Structures are given as structure tokens and as C-alpha cells.
Chains A and B, each alone.
Chain A
């Protein structure tokens, strides 16, 4: 299914909110890697089974490429 592209303003609001959440996590855990935190917060917006499916697709594709 083709995903609808969010309107520019909505995308900008989402990015601002995400950035603020990343900063809040980093304020509590300054040792954490910014990218890891950002990716986790993005993934948490997806349902658990979709997260698993994405991880398996990427993991298995990587394994095939390494063979």
C-alpha cells in the first residue's frame, strides 16, 4: 500500500516534536547516542509487529548480501 506523504507543515511539526523528545532523553542520559535515541523514538511510533517485520526484512537481506 502506498503511504501518503504528510503535508510539509505536519512533517515539520513532527520533526520538531521528535527533536524535543530526543533532547529530553539525552538530558537524562547524556552518554546515549543521539541517532540510536532518535531511531528508537521513531520506531516506537510503529506497532511492535511492524517493527519486528522491518528488522527481519533488513536482517535477512543483509545476510543474503554477505553470502
Chain B
């Protein structure tokens, strides 16, 4: 599932980000290793000084997320995602309101900068959805 500001930007939030945060149900999944290998990348398990990472060509843009501040478990939050079509696939993307909830809970200086923007983007997207429904 794509989370963080990259997920927010896919839903229209006018924010910038340096990487795509990925939240996996199971980091040891064999399908994940196969997919990474196909992309010329590999999973690097956590060590004393480093968190779990993806390494290799094609993986530079991606970061691994183990948990999200203020949110439930992966199994709970996967229910709160939207699906974005990509060729034959459908990307799971965490919903904007859940990203905002996580940023509010984390409340780091960099989160504080994005909270008002995410809040306004959510207001705009919800207004559009409401209008489309009516």
C-alpha cells in the first residue's frame, strides 16, 4: 500500500515529496522478493544501524514503512485505501483522511508544515465527491 505524501499527492494534495513510502503486510513475502528482483532491486533486512530498506536500480525512490503514527494495523488500514489503476494493476493507496490523521499524530516539524495543506486538499476533494454524488 502506498502511504505518506506520495499517496496524498496521488489524491490531489499540492505537496512535494522525495520518495514513495510503501507499507507491506509481510516484508518476508516471496512475491515481494520476486517483484523486486524483476525490477533489479532487493530487500535489505534491518540491522543495528539501519531500518529495513530497498536497494538497487529502480528502488531509489522507494522507502519501507513499518507502522504509521496514529493509525491502526496494516490489516485495519488496508480497508481505508483507494485503488489507482496502473496498466493491468490496481495500486492500493491510503486514503487522504488517514494520511492526514497520521501526520497529525506524528506532529513532527515537517508534518506541521503539511497538515494545513492536506486539510485543505481533503476539503476540496470531499466537496468534489459530494457534488459528483448529487
Q: A interface vs B, CB < 8 Å?
A: 21, 24-25, 28-29, 32-33, 36-37, 39-41, 43-44, 48-49, 51-52, 54-56, 58-60, 62-63
Contacts and interface: CB of A to CB of B under 8 A. Distances in A.
A36 B20 contact: no
A62 B110 CA distance: 14
Interface residues of B, number: 29
Interface in B83-134: 84, 86, 93, 116-117, 119-121, 123-125, 127-128, 131
A21 B93 CA distance: 26
Given A40-B14, A58-B16, A62-B16, A52 B131 contact: no
Interface stretch (B2-10, B25-33, B38-46, B72-80): B2-10
B16 A37 contact: no
A43 B3 CA distance: 18
Interface of B: 5-6, 9-20, 61, 84, 86, 93, 116-117, 119-121, 123-125, 127-128, 131
Given A52-B10, A55-B6, A37 B123 contact: yes
A59 B10 contact: no
Contact of B124 (A37, A51, A63): A37
A23 B53 CA distance: 44
A46 to B, nearest CB: 8
